[in-house]
Amino acid sequence: DGAYLKVYGGFEAKGTVSKPVLIEGINRKGTLFFNTHQKVIIKNLVFNNLNNTQSGFDQPAAITFYECKTVNISNTLFKSNNSGDDYVNFFRSENILIKDSRFQDILNDAVDSDFSDISISNSEFVDIGNDAIDGSGSNINVENSLFYLVKDKAISAGEKSDVSLNQNTFKNNEIAIVSKDESILRSDNNIFNKNSIDIATFIKKSFYDYPKIIIKNSKVFNYLIEQGSLVEGMDSILYTNDVESKLYGNL
């Protein structure tokens, strides 16, 4: 009930499929902060009803990994946060592995990666209020995952991020994948189904150059590609200007 857990050493929490470890914010209060070079292992957990309000710092997320070296998350459910820009934020962290996990009923962003290296596989992002995965200056790999009912961007690659997407399904999202601000986004064997926009590219911050997107083995039904963007794998592209102003049903 209002606990602020700070971890500066090794951390292991391991439940079982039939009896997961529950970390829950009583009265929808509770914040976690990790800052360690030792290994963090999270397996078969449920995080529920957390927020960012107990932190004495300007912590944007319910769970923050700050300059962590190795984080392994598997078979874990993140659900129902009630405040904060993100549920989970990785800042200048590396060797991050998330697999066989689920994010659901998230208030804003599910995963925010700032200058971090992350691999995500066999996971699900369902009913996300803003972005499912938001990368800034990051290296991100996502494969064999589902993105469903994301109200903003399922994947957002920004600020010179390098993002690879392989064999994922994007269904009924506002925007499936976005490459912006000198980012490189590679999409291979992904399925796009009933998204408002499958692909968008644009410059958001004027001090960056145009982004790049590479499409392979993926059928794109609708897109907004800003003039000047580098695109491979799409024929007869109809470019547009000022893409950001045309999103979210404006065009």
- Matching residue, tokens 């592209």: 237
Residue 208 belongs to what H/E stretch? none
Residue type, 170: F
Q: What is the pTM of this model?
A: 0.94
Tokens (6 digits) for 236: 């007869």
Ramachandran angles phi, psi of 92, nearest 5°: 45, 50
Q: What is the pLDDT of residue 244?
A: 83
pLDDT at 205 over 90: no
pLDDT in tens, 106-136: 999 999 999 999 999 999 999 999 999 999 9
Mean pLDDT of 168-175: 97
pLDDT at 251 over 80: no
Question: Rounded to an integer, what distance in angstroms lies between the CA atom of residue 81 and that of residue 105?
Answer: 8
**Does residue 30 have a pLDDT over 90?**
no
**Cα distance between the two ends of the chain:** 45
Q: In the structure, how many helices (H) and strands (E) does the chain have?
A: 0, 29
From CA 97, how far away is CA 117, in angstroms rounded? Answer: 9
